[in-house]
Structure 1
Amino acid sequence: MTYSPSTNGKLPDTMPIFPLEGAVLLPGGELPLNIFERRYLAMVDAALGQGRWIGMVQPRQNQGDKEDGIQTLFSIGCAGQISSFSATKDNRYFITLTGACRFSITTELEQADGFRRIKPDFTAFEDDLEPEPLDTRQRADLFRALKDYLGWSGYDADWDALENTPDHALVASMAMACPFAPAEKQALLEASSLVTRTRCLVTMLDMARHDEAETVDHARH
């Protein structure tokens, strides 16, 4: 089952959150998820009945960062709407979240059916709903970095399709798909604007390619 994501001019006052290390959702991006834990099946059921909203947020990597036995979270995540849903015979859900707007966590509410819920604050991130476009030079620099990185890594891409992808969706999909560390993905999420996120992404792609090249050189010697 597929849905058309739409805020209808209103973002949620409360929503469930899915803490998952290394899985960052960005505005304009699409995140496929395989849901099988009972508490997160209940989370999806609740979201489907309340606007289809789920907040993706990373737990802090230090396992000692816990309060009352509950792992602490980064303060900024991204709200997404369920845009596709299917259930399997072995009690799994396959869903896709489409990113809409980042949020900061103001209050964590009492858990419901084992999953965590929050009151989000979207005030600082309302520009996510209408992001500033990249200029020609910025977009060209992004494609240069992508081609260099993917070419060095031995991957290919459908460049015609990417050329026709809107700026925010292109940056989101590349930032989410590339194998960056959780802290690096969090930095991309927290970038102040689409333009700033693009600059960070270009820098990370160039650094990753440089690091891989150095690793190969050391291995040869």
Structure 2
Amino acid sequence: MPTGYRKAADLPQAIPVFPLAGVLLLPGGQLPLNIFEPRYLNMVDDAMAGDRLIGMVQTRHGDRERPPLAPVGCVGRVTSFAETPDGRYLITLTGLCRFALGDELPVRTPYRQVLARFETYEGDLKEEPPSARLDRPRFLAALARYLDHRGLGIEWESAESAPVDALVNSLAMGLPFDASEKQALLEALTVEDRAETLTAMLEIDAAGGDDDPSVLQ
């Protein structure tokens, strides 16, 4: 999706953040959100009036009202917007680029804002990232065992033919991993690194762990 952002310097240094544990946005991924808290309705209003950018970042254990933020997030652009009769916003964020969190800004807005450092992840902005290698037979075997263990299913024809980056990123975002696992997938520097991390997670989970079935996000 053409955005006009080609390098890290094209992105704003200060961005609003939506802190949400257990939710992952990756570059190129699409994340639907149901916005109902007044402070985040305000955040979306401001984003829509400006560059439409919002940073997704996980939270860590701590102050319930203002929990500590994870060290890496992903900025996305609002690519769809609808308002419900009861005043909620239904939006879709399309991931653009990951960022390392700098200082949190002392702002008057009800939502939090941070300095974002995009340089490490500037490669996320490439329109056509280099093809990633994947041991697809091993990956699909691990995925099949994981899904069976969790009582889940997917469209196998699509999984077998999908480009590596689309397959890995969609599963990383959609499968019910815990917050620390989601963060590890986010921080994997390349798609190949993420594929290897995801394969290991699938194999570990299928070998044991939580027996309660979950559902895709």
TM-score where L is the length of structure 2: 0.85
Unaligned runs of 5+ in 1: 217-221
Aligned-pair CA distance for 1:145: 2.1
Aligned to 1:96: 92
8 Å contact from structure 2 (residues 101, 117) kept in 1: yes
8 Å contact from structure 2 (residues 58, 69) kept in 1: yes
Q: Deviations over 1:131-169 (max 9, x none)?
A: 44222x434433332223223433322223334533222
Aligned to 1:119: 115
Alpha-carbon separation, structure 2, partners of 1:201 and 1:14: 31
Describe the SS at the equivalent of 1:183: helix
Which of 85, 105, 108 is matched with 1:109 structurally?
105
Larger Rg: 1
State how many pairs are aligned: 207
Which of 187, 193, 211 is matched with 2:208 structurally?
211
Aligned to 1:53: 53
8 Å contact from structure 1 (residues 15, 55) kept in 2: yes
Describe the SS at the equivalent of 1:102: strand
Alpha carbons of structure 1 residues 211 and 113: separation in structure 2 relative to 1, 3 Å: same
Describe the SS at the equivalent of 1:90: coil
Unaligned runs of 5+ in 2: 213-217
8 Å contact from structure 2 (residues 25, 173) kept in 1: yes
Alpha carbons of structure 1 residues 161 and 7: separation in structure 2 relative to 1, 3 Å: farther
Question: Which segment drifts farther, 139-148 or 92-101?
Answer: 139-148
Alpha-carbon separation, structure 1, partners of 2:175 and 2:130: 23
Aligned to 2:32: 32
Aligned to 2:131: 133
8 Å contact from structure 1 (residues 132, 194) kept in 2: no
8 Å contact from structure 2 (residues 98, 118) kept in 1: yes
Alpha carbons of structure 1 residues 17 and 90: separation in structure 2 relative to 1, 3 Å: same
Aligned to 2:15: 15
Alpha carbons of structure 1 residues 206 and 81: separation in structure 2 relative to 1, 3 Å: same
Aligned-pair CA distance for 1:47: 1.1
Alpha-carbon separation, structure 1, partners of 2:71 and 2:54: 15
Letter in 2 for 1:38: P
2:173 corresponds to 1:193? no
What is the RMSD computed on CA atoms of the aligned residues? 2.2
Aligned to 2:215: none
Letter in 1 for 2:132: L
- The sequence identity of aligned pairs, in percent, is 43
TM-score where L is the length of structure 1: 0.84
8 Å contact from structure 2 (residues 25, 56) kept in 1: yes
Alpha-carbon separation, structure 1, partners of 2:153 and 2:160: 14
Aligned-pair CA distance for 1:57: 0.6
Alpha-carbon separation, structure 1, partners of 2:50 and 2:164: 29
8 Å contact from structure 2 (residues 149, 211) kept in 1: no
Aligned to 1:85: 81
